[in-house]
């Protein structure tokens, strides 16, 4: 049983991580760190977490902790990961992995040198719907993928994580916060890499110094064109669609874990198949997969290099917004350019 410590125990831990750990079979939470001592104590009592620390550094010194799940604000990711790696702890880091690709590079290199596992919590790779979409496209059910679309919108004006609107703390607005999920899931389902992109963004008087909405146009290396639409102002929506030269696959709620969703196959303007799947185990499967990787049973599906590649795409998107031009997307060393 792998013993996790959660760094920066807050809203995400309460809403998503602890329900996931409750369903996990190969790991458990034994420690948390949080600067607010009163809230830390309350969480410890509510979730029966025995060890409470005031900082990531203190938690990483504990011999009772095997792995650290970093859930602190984006600006803290690099330092918290390096702290854990320095203490020879395995680390699962929330997305976006860091503030920029250079920080991701440093994190990956440090983990390699320390001989510990570094993973990124791109949880939607662990959804049943994602596995089905990927398998159907790989099997050629839609023919050659011509177009793809990923949307992730939510009404964020009253969001409890107010730091999301501060550029000094967050890697960006919804492009970084949820757009990274769209980028990652398109790369994963298509099994292809992004070659170039263009991006536009909008902001308003409530979005601080980050964007409130954005649109990315992506060109994949094998020719698929894709769009990513994100917003913290629009109605909640997490749609995925893949249009091939033979058929269409779509899931109107493709990045949803709260309730079952439908995957639809359309051919000749007719709906020829509907699959109903549940993603309720996604968070449990993610931490159990990390536990398996620590114990050498299976490689973790989202190593640090994947988060680094996603961050390269994010960096290119923000460059495009600033320049108004199409920006190339580099691949990290060792990744295929075919």
Question: Do 83 and 55 lie in a common domain?
Answer: yes
Instruction: Return all residues near 197 (Cβ < 8 A) that are at least 6 apart.
Output: 216, 217, 218, 219, 313, 316, 317, 320, 326, 327, 329
Q: Are 193 and 337 in contact (CB under 8 A)?
A: yes
- 8-state DSSP, 13: I
* Residue 307 in domain: no
Q: Along the 338 residues of the chain, how does pLDDT read in single tens digits?
A: 999 999 999 999 999 999 999 999 999 999 999 999 899 999 999 999 999 999 999 999 999 999 999 999 999 999 999 999 999 999 999 999 999 999 999 999 999 999 999 999 999 999 999 999 999 999 999 999 999 999 999 998 777 777 888 999 999 999 999 999 999 999 999 999 999 999 999 999 888 899 999 999 999 999 999 999 999 999 999 999 999 999 999 999 999 999 999 999 999 989 999 999 999 999 999 999 999 999 999 999 999 999 999 999 999 999 999 999 999 999 997 654 44
Between CA 233 and CA 117 the distance in angstroms is 37
Question: Do 154 and 235 lie in a common domain?
Answer: yes
Question: Do 320 and 199 lie in a common domain?
Answer: yes
Between CA 25 and CA 333 the distance in angstroms is 35
Question: Do 193 and 324 lie in a common domain?
Answer: yes
* Residue 63 in domain: yes
Question: Do 7 and 110 lie in a common domain?
Answer: yes
Q: What is the DSSP string of 301-322?
A: SSBHHHHHHHHHHHHHHHHHHH
* Residue 334 in domain: no
Question: Do 29 and 65 lie in a common domain?
Answer: yes
Question: Do 100 and 139 lie in a common domain?
Answer: no
* Residue 37 in domain: yes
Question: Do 39 and 88 lie in a common domain?
Answer: yes
For the domain that residue 19 is a member of, what is the CATH number? Answer: 3.40.50.720
3-class secondary-structure state, position 62: coil
- What is the domain range of residue 269? 125-279+312-328
CB environment 134-151: b (16+ within 10 A), e (fewer): bebbeeebbeebbebbbb
- Structurally, the chain folds into a number of domains equal to 2
Q: What is the DSSP string of 120-132?
A: E--GGGG-HHHHH
Q: What's the predicted TM-score (pTM) here?
A: 0.96
What tokens were used for 119? 């993973």
Question: Do 58 and 106 lie in a common domain?
Answer: yes
Question: Do 117 and 176 lie in a common domain?
Answer: no
- 8-state DSSP, 337: -
């Amino acid at each position: 049983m792998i013993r996790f410590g959660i760094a920066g125990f807050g809203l995400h831990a309460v809403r998503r991580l602890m329900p996931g750990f409750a369903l996990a079979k190969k790991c458990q939470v034994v420690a948390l760190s949080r600067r607010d001592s009163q809230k830390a104590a309350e969480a410890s009592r509510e979730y029966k977490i025995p060890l409470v620390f005031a900082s990531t550094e203190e938690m990483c010194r504990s011999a009772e902790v095997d792995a650290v799940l970093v859930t602190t604000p984006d600006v803290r990711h690099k330092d918290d990961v390096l702290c854990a790696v320095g203490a020879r702890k395995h680390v699962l880091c929330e997305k976006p992995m860091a503030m920029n690709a250079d920080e991701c590079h440093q994190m990956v290199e440090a983990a390699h040198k320390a001989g510990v596992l570094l993973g990124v919590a791109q949880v939607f790779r662990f959804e049943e719907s994602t596995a089905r979409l990927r398998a159907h496209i790989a099997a050629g059910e839609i023919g050659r993928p011509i177009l793809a679309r990923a949307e992730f919108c939510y009404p964020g004006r009253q969001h409890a994580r107010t730091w999301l609107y501060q550029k000094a703390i967050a890697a960006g607005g919804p492009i970084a916060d949820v757009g990274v999920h769209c980028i990652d899931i398109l790369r994963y389902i298509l099994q292809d890499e992004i070659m170039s992109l263009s991006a536009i963004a909008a902001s308003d008087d409530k979005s601080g110094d980050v964007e409130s909405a954005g649109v990315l146009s992506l060109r994949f290396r094998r020719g698929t064109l894709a769009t990513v639409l994100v917003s913290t102002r629009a109605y909640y929506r997490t749609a995925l669609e893949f249009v091939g030269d033979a058929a269409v696959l779509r899931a109107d709620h493709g990045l949803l874990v709260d309730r079952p969703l439908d995957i639809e196959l359309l051919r000749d303007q007719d709906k020829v198949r509907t699959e109903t799947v549940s993603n309720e185990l996604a968070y449990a499967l993610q931490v159990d997969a990390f536990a398996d990787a620590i114990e050498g049973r299976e490689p973790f599906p989202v190593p640090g290099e994947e988060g680094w590649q996603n961050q390269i795409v994010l960096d290119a998107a923000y460059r495009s917004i600033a320049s108004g031009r199409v920006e190339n997307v580099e691949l990290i060393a060792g990744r295929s350019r075919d």
